Structure 1
Amino acid sequence: MKSRYTWFLFLVFIFLLSGCAHVISKDLRIKSDPSLTLGQVRQNPDALKEKLVIWGGEIIETVNQRDGTTQIEVFQRPLGWRGEPKETSYSEGRFLVLADSYLDPYIFRRGKRITVGGEIIGEKTKPLGEMEYRYPVVSSKQIYLFFGLNTITNPIPIIMTHGGRIPIGEGDLDLEAITTAILTVNLSTSIYPFQLLKKFRKKRDPF
């Protein structure tokens, strides 16, 4: 019983720290180029291929493709210090995110805010109204989806990494997955550590 109480206090501590955590991993932030803007890439996308960037904004459209990948069209917004898209009218335009797995368009739907860390792989031209629009394309390594439409105050995220998905839902998950999920919960949510423990606990070890 004592060990469970100690573990619970540890999770509370992690939860409190989560309000200060960046939504993209430290490793990817170190490797990325924060000075590389969407506008710069639009001017010369081929010369900037393989560069790592962290961009974000609002989802315009999510399309599942025949090869099993998912394409997300994003309306760019500047990012805050935690990596969240800011509430501002300023934007440098649109870009495309290419995820190497299926993402449900109902979850990744229009108006939701998203932050992406990934590699520039070029550009794609497609119709936008009556014009042809050139979209820089980012191959995603990490995707952070904020729940709620047009709001950054209550993100209970779904995290996509290059290695797979950490889902918010029922099932057996290991300790690393539990800790990662708790690290990504913002203090402004109404979800607390003990609720997360109940959600992620192993069925063979009732809480």
Structure 2
Amino acid sequence: MLLVSLLCSGMACAPVFEPELRGQIDPALSYPELLASPASHAGRVVLLGGTIVEAANFETFTRLILLQYPLGRDDRPRTNQPSGGRFLLRIPGYLETEVYRPGRAISVIGEVQGQEDLPLGETSYAYPALIPKHLHLWPEGETGPRIRVGIGVGFSKGF
């Protein structure tokens, strides 16, 4: 029984990023530090997550603007936690913005490129800008692992 529980919990929390990629992450760089001074952290690799606020295609890249959320053990953004702010991704090439649309959750390992100032309402916002090394788009409707373990005898009568 204990073995089954351990196996199930291990599968539910399997990381979405390969160990080689995770090894490139700078664990000392927190999101608040990145937000405070994006340009001074250019070249560093971070793991961030959030939900898409805006997706736009340009001639040579797709830009995603995300609302940052803390990550859970499975690297999924925890949208029930407070957000730390926004960041943007510049993805070379084309991404389908009907797939990568507002509200979708993403986790990303990316290299900090610096800061990009863009309008936000009546003001300007200094976005930390990243180029993704690996992007994970989470399935819609899932908020975490759903494991059900039961022991017993049952039967069903099909009608």
TM (norm. structure 2) is 0.80
Point out 4+ residue stretches in structure 1 off by more than 3 angstroms.
Answer: 15-18
Percent identity of equivalent pairs? 31
Deviation at 1:19, TM superposition (A): 2.3
The aligned counterpart of 1:57 is 50
Residue 68 (structure 2) pairs with residue 46 (structure 1): no
Amino acid in the other structure paired with 1:136: P
Using the alignment, how far apart are the partners of 1:25 and 1:98 within structure 2?
A: 21
The aligned counterpart of 1:137 is 129
Paired residues of 1:73 and 1:95 also in contact (CA < 8 A): yes
Using the alignment, how far apart are the partners of 1:28 and 1:187 within structure 2?
A: 27
Instruction: Name the Cα RMSD after superposition.
Output: 2.1
User: Map of 1:10-89 to 2, 5 A cutoff?
Assistant: 18-67=11-60, 69-89=61-81
Using the alignment, how far apart are the partners of 2:129 and 2:82 within structure 1?
A: 20
Q: Which has the higher contact order (CA 8 A, sep 6+)?
A: 2
Unaligned runs of 5+ residues in structure 2 are 1-7, 148-159
Q: How many residues align?
A: 141
The aligned counterpart of 1:125 is 117
Paired residues of 1:18 and 1:187 also in contact (CA < 8 A): no
The aligned counterpart of 1:111 is 103
Paired residues of 1:16 and 1:187 also in contact (CA < 8 A): no
Question: Per residue, is there more helix in 1 or in 2?
Answer: 1
Using the alignment, how far apart are the partners of 1:187 and 1:142 within structure 2?
A: 25
Deviation at 1:17, TM superposition (A): 5.8
Unaligned runs of 5+ residues in structure 1 are 1-14, 154-185, 189-207
The aligned counterpart of 1:10 is none
Deviation at 1:134, TM superposition (A): 0.4
Amino acid in the other structure paired with 1:50: G
Residue 116 (structure 2) pairs with residue 152 (structure 1): no
Using the alignment, how far apart are the partners of 1:98 and 1:38 within structure 2?
A: 18
Using the alignment, how far apart are the partners of 2:14 and 2:86 within structure 1?
A: 26
Local SS of the residue matching 2:138? strand
Using the alignment, how far apart are the partners of 2:19 and 2:146 within structure 1?
A: 20
Task: Map Cα deviations across residues 110-160 of structure 1 (whole Å, 9 max, x no partner).
Answer: 0010001010001100111111000000100100001215x423xxxxxxx
Using the alignment, how far apart are the partners of 1:19 and 1:130 within structure 2?
A: 43
Deviation at 1:87, TM superposition (A): 3.1
Local SS of the residue matching 1:70? strand
TM (norm. structure 1) is 0.63
Deviation at 1:39, TM superposition (A): 1.7
Deviation at 1:42, TM superposition (A): 2.1
